[in-house]
């Protein structure tokens, strides 16, 4: 993967995470199930796509692979935070 294409891809992932996080906050502030589902799907897509792109870029020897893995870790932490907030809102625990 060429470094320029990798940066564009990474920028799109960051943009997707921004939209996902806004949907997440809106779903928690106003009980809106549709936004909550969109946020959950967005988080999962961010993690899976980032790991997939990280594996491909690592096979090609690109230096951006560590950034994709770091991004996946940050998004996973936000996903766990979102799920715990949803569990508290639904009084699951």
Give tens-digit pLDDT for 5-62. 778 888 999 999 999 999 999 998 988 889 989 999 999 999 999 999 999 989 988 8
Cα-Cα-Cα-Cα dihedral sign, residues 44, 45, 48, 53: negative
Phi first, then psi, for residue 82 (nearest 5°) are: -65, -45
Nearest to 36 by CA among 46, 27, 45: 27
Q: Note if the pTM is more than 0.75.
A: yes
Q: Is the dihedral of CA 56, 62, 66, 68 positive or negative?
A: negative
Domain boundaries in the chain?
Answer: 3-89
Angstrom distance (rounded) from CA 62 to CA 47:
19
Of residues 64 and 47, more confidence is placed in 47
């Amino acid at each position: 993967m060429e470094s320029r294409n990798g940066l564009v891809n990474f920028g799109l992932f960051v943009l997707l995470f921004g939209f996902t996080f806004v949907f997440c906050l809106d779903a928690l502030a106003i009980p809106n199930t549709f936004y909550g589902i969109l946020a959950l799907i967005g988080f999962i897509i961010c993690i899976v796509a980032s790991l997939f792109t990280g594996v491909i870029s690592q096979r090609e020897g690109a230096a951006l692979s560590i950034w994709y893995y770091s991004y996946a870790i940050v998004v996973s932490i936000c996903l766990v935070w979102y799920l715990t907030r949803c569990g508290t809102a639904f009084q699951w625990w």
